[in-house]
Amino acid sequence: MNTRLLLLVFFLLTFPLQNAISQSSVTHEFGVVVGPLAFYSDYGERYDFDTNTGNTGIGVGLVYFLNYTYRSDAGYNVARRYLHDHFKVRGEIDFHKTSFEHFGQWVADDKTSFFADQLRAMSGSTTVIDFGGQIEYYPLSLRTFEYIETRIAPFVSFGIHFSYFDPEVKSSLGALNSPVSTPDKYFDSFQQDPGTAFSLVASVGMRYKLDYQNDLLIDVRWQNYFSDWVDGLNPDAPENKANDWLFWVNIGYVYYLE
């Protein structure tokens, strides 16, 4: 997807909220999130349980929220009052690293072919730093949550991130692009150099109110990259049908600045 189009979409999504924020008193929130992630890449076999549970990593993020729920005065403007009571703007910087191996039927113990040996010998990793923004929508009233009339506030969110990734691909059989070490489908289909990519982020989560200045947070995220090079592999094969993406479960803590 064109970079300018992505930025335009994000601007259009956030403009009504930015306009409301500019006319209100804003509360700032800071937090940290951490949790395991499953990275769906060109390693392993699609829909294979061992692949899904084996190619995993850990991530950590610093998060920042614009909250204008109870410190703003929207007057009789119904639309603005609704925005204040149901939306937050979220910005964050994330870091995660995942290690990769080939899993699935082609590397099962009963596979004794040279191709299977080549797959077993391949491994890799990717380190990703990304940052971006999301719009969080809370279907229940944030005012009742901020005043601890309720303790739980579920939400959904959508946003755009920009990522810097640094992959590594190797084989215990020797240097890649050798007939000894590299299966045919992976010849000239790997990347060792860092790169960048945009991604779409969608999540569903919940906050739990500890007190007026402290929340616990749980967040389940789907992140789809507009690149198939994040893991360092991009084979030219019929089964390579999707870009890299991940599924990330976070728990975190959020502090409200007065």
Set out the domains of the chain in order of their start, with CATH numbers: 3-20+32-256 (2.40.160.20)
Verdict on whether the full-model pTM lies above 0.85: no
Q: Is residue 21 pLDDT above 50, yes or no?
A: no
Which pLDDT tens digit goes with each residue over 30-88?
999 999 999 998 887 766 667 777 899 999 999 999 887 865 555 567 777 888 899 99
pLDDT of residue 236: 76
Q: DSSP alpha helices (H): ranges in 66-164?
A: 78-86, 114-121, 142-146
> How far is residue 91 from each of residues 44, 63, 151, measured CA to CA in Å?
33, 6, 23
Three-state SS for 43?
coil
Q: What is the mean pLDDT of the chain?
A: 86
pLDDT of residue 22: 47
- Determine contact, residues 89/69, Cβ cutoff 8 Å: no
Collect all residues with Cβ–Cβ distance below 8 Å to 22 and sequence separation of at least 6: none
Q: How far apart are CA 171 and CA 176, in angstroms?
A: 7
Backbone angles phi, psi at 22, to 5 degrees: -65, -20
Length of the chain: 258
Closest to 69 (Cα-Cα) out of 133, 10, 147, 150? 147
- The percentage of residues in the chain with a pLDDT greater than 90, rounded to a whole number, is 57
Q: Is 212 exposed, middle or buried (0-12, 13-18, 19+ CB in 10 A)?
A: exposed
Top pLDDT among 14 and 25 is at 25
